[in-house]
Structure 1
């Protein structure tokens, strides 16, 4: 039986974050649960709660920066990564340990808004994330 409880979020890229936020709020009644200003090492980001435990994590990047060109090496296109959901911080910590034992390239568990988050790369080098609600 899988330890994941489904998808937590899909991360997307947009050139106009404010426009995208307005669309999801007005079209679906979505709410904003986390906002991060742009930093030297990270683009501006917002987490949009779509209900049912699912979210969009949206990164704002200029269209001319090359991230949109899926045909070029390293081009990511509008889908950046996906996040798998687990039921608790304890399960997330156990998952981290298994990933480490498997030799995965992984980061540290961090708090992003109402979620605990762990980024890692799969054997093909794709960046993925495992998350759980912080109150779980």
Structure 2
């Protein structure tokens, strides 16, 4: 049996309103869900991405550490989003620039090309293609 693909990713944020606005602008979409979890342990705001994957923002009712994201700490290193081509990455450079989002420019490697940037909590995000 093959291991299944990713269905969703959820990240913990320090300021849900700020992050919801930021991701709404990035995704050019509004959340499809914004509610407390049944037991009241966390609140989640969820976006649907192309292909049906979900991307969630979580707040843990004030129990978050408040620490800035650090990929060198055990846990998440970054979240990568698939794009189809280097040309599409170049379009994303322009879009991130329009949104005022700092990025590292398109970086090429033998295994593909990527465009890295960070969200308001410093969570590392990447747009990536394996195409030439």
The structure with higher relative contact order (CA 8 Å, sep 6+) is 1
Q: Same fold (TM over 0.5)?
A: no
Higher strand share: 1
**TM-score of Structure 1 vs Structure 2, range by shorter chain:** 0.3 to 0.5
